[in-house]
Structure 1
Amino acid sequence: MSVLDERVGPFPGGRIGTGDVLGDRTHEGVGRAVTHAEHVDDFDMRHLRYFLSVVRAGTVSGAAQELRISQPSLSQQIKRLEQRVGAPLFIRSSRGVELTAGGRAFLREIQSIPGQLRSAIAAAAPSPLVWPVGVCGGVPAEVLAEVQNGLTGQPTDGTGSRTEPVLRMRSVSTADQSELLQHGEIAFGIVRLPAAVPGLVRAVVWDEPLGIVMDAGHPMAHRPRLTWEDLSAQRLLWYDEGCAPGYADTVPAQLAALGWNAVLHPIDQDQQALFVHELQTADDVVALRPRLAVQGDPQLVWRPLPTTAAPRERLAVTTLADSGSARHLRRVAARRRWPFLT
């Protein structure tokens, strides 16, 4: 379900005016908006959602399945959109669809509209409800609690009921979060840094040194300290391609500079059970995690890397720059002393 289909909590931000009087600049902006609206008053937001879904899926059939409508119906709606725009938006082939030059230009201009509309509706909503949050794999529960407490605050009405928005967290890879933020399908994301994507701001909520994680039955588990020579014979359980762009490349490079050219063993680290299972089924596989991320798990053992300059795991809350959610995140970061990155 798209966020266009549900009411969501407000992103605290300023109103365009107070009382019955608006500033001259606001009047000018409203005047321009009225003029623009005259030319799109027969435009259906549903068609934008359909267009964006086809772009994301890469096929009309895949988008139709995601939208839970028939493929012929979706094809007809896309044709109507192209007729309304006055130009073809897709090149169709047996492999799927590709954007035309006009389609790329259309996407560039409209992809932020759902998020902007969502923010506008949320800002005016009298009753805050839900903020969807995308969470990358392997995020410790402590981080989720810190983000929950930071973004939503505590009940303040004296009755014990929640007066701030509720976060609805779901697993979304770092690679996919930017697109979902642009489309307005999530309000915030939790990502591993570095994750350089233009148009986003970030607040760091977790910054811890990485160490070696292994199964409690691993041959090296009894050693209090490990050496680079010990690690040279070990494969590194690591993030699957595209799961943690930036971070997935940076850390192995840092390890190589320290003396460990690790052979990577990639898996989907969104599933903790799979992560533990991989460590249990091989004597030459270890992983990297901060100590607090595995503390208290009797199946796992943590050991520091043999260096005083260990790579670090930095997790950040991210959202669209120049948005109500960005202004809210900046205020929360200042209050909770989260380093804020632009």
Structure 2
Amino acid sequence: MELRHLRYFLAVAEERQFTRAAARLHMQQPPLSQQIQELEQELGFALFLRQPRGVELTAPGEAFAEHARGALRMLEQGVTHARRVAQGRVGRVRIALTSSAAFHPLAPAAIRNFRERYPDIAIELSEINAAEIIEMMLQGRVDVAILRKPIGTPAELRFELLAQERMLLVLPLGHALVGKRAISMDALVDEPFIFVRRPGAPGMYADFIRACEARGYTPRVVDEVPRMVTAINLVAAGGGITLVPASMQRYQQESVRYCRIVGDEAFRAPLHLVTRSTTESPAAARFRTTVLTFRNGKGVERR
């Protein structure tokens, strides 16, 4: 039994006549009669009572028609759903963010915009460090990501700039440098720095470290932590100082002070959208297009 048999049968059942059903199906009447006879032979019972001026459904024919209509209706629904999946309007997108990326207002705003535009796409959101994100994307466990500045850009992944902002020093309350409009690099020679571990945020501090080395010293790193919020918490506890993107200055404002560095235009924290170059799901492709369009509407932010 094939789907065409169901369509032929229902056309005859609704028209109550082979000639009209054949015209509706754009075929000749004899082949249609033959197809119905073959269907009846396969089912093992008569579907129609043949009469001089048409046909009537038998009792089993009535029962079969109900289920045939349901089967075709489910098929149509399945086709419609699959088409929406192919168009990226239904499905699932797995999004990963680094903690510092999550603080940038563009990230939650873009995700919220996507959710409002495509409510039938489920969003799975996770917050992990950049190294884990890259690994999970290469393994196919994450569809898209928003992160800062990875040290490596595998060919399998596509990195697109969403925004840039300056980096700020984070100092504990009472620090001798608090209150200065901008702090010089030379004033940081003996300061104890807390950085996010290099595998977790490998590219974030590269420009700053190179700038220190150009001045004849290497930053004294006293601690390395998995996330920037942890670094800020340690600064608040008096464990040292750190450097973070400007959008994070909303965090721990009562316990730390955020300060600019002289010449801070050299220290920029980019925000990237990361997607797979190939094997991209329709929902992930839709997310990428939506976020880039949203970014263009907002402009690339430079704080």
Q: The TM-score by the shorter chain falls in which range? A: 0.5 to 0.7
Partner deviation per Cα, 1:226-261 (whole Å, 9 max, x = no partner): 222321121221111311233344442244336663
Instruction: Give 1:219's match in structure 2, choosing from 172, 176, 180.
Output: 176
Q: Which residue of 2 aligns with 1:261?
A: 218
Correspondence for 2:161: 204
- Counterpart residue number, 2:244: 289
Pair 1:314-2:270 in alignment: yes
Where does structure 1 lack aligned partners over 5 or more consecutive residues?
1-119, 156-161
- 1:317 maps to a residue whose letter is L
**Number of aligned residue pairs:** 211
Alpha-carbon separation, structure 2, partners of 1:191 and 1:121: 31
User: Partner residue of 1:333?
Assistant: 292
Other-structure match for 2:236:
280
> Is residue 2:125 matched to residue 1:169?
yes
- Asked if the contact 1:133–1:189 (Cα under 8 Å) also holds between the matched residues in 2, the reply is yes
The 8 Å contact of residues 232 and 242 in structure 2, kept in 1 or not, is answered as no
Residue 210 of structure 1 and its aligned partner are, at CA, apart by 0.8
**Contact 1:131 1:167 survives alignment (8 Å):** yes
Q: 1:183 aligns with which of 139, 142, 147?
A: 139
Larger Rg: 2
Q: Which secondary structure does the structure 2 equivalent of 1:309 belong to?
A: helix
User: Judging changes above 3 Å, is the alpha-carbon distance between structure 1 residues 122 and 243 closer, same or farther for their aligned structure 2 residues?
Assistant: farther
Of 97, 104, 109, which residue of structure 2 is paired with 1:146? 109
The CA distance in 2 between the partners of 1:313 and 1:188, in whole Å, is 19
For 1:264, what is the secondary structure of its paired residue? Answer: strand
Normalised by the length of structure 1, the TM-score is: 0.53
**CA deviation after TM superposition for structure 1 residue 126, in Å:** 9.3
Quickly say closer, same or farther: Cα 1:194–1:250, change in 2 above 3 A: farther
What are the residue-to-residue correspondences of 1:6-17 with 2, within 5 Å? none
Aligned CA distance change for structure 1 residues 200 and 213 (closer, same or farther; 3 Å):
same
How far apart, CA to CA, are the structure 1 residues paired with 2:271 and 2:154? Answer: 15
**Distance between the aligned counterparts of 2:84 and 2:189, measured in 1?**
53
167-176 vs 309-318, which moves further: 167-176
Percent of aligned positions that are identical: 14
Q: What is the CA-CA distance between 1:147 and the residue it aligns to? A: 3.4
TM-score scaled by length of structure 2:
0.59
In structure 2, runs of 5+ residues without a counterpart are 1-81
CA-CA distance at 1:331 after TM superposition:
5.4
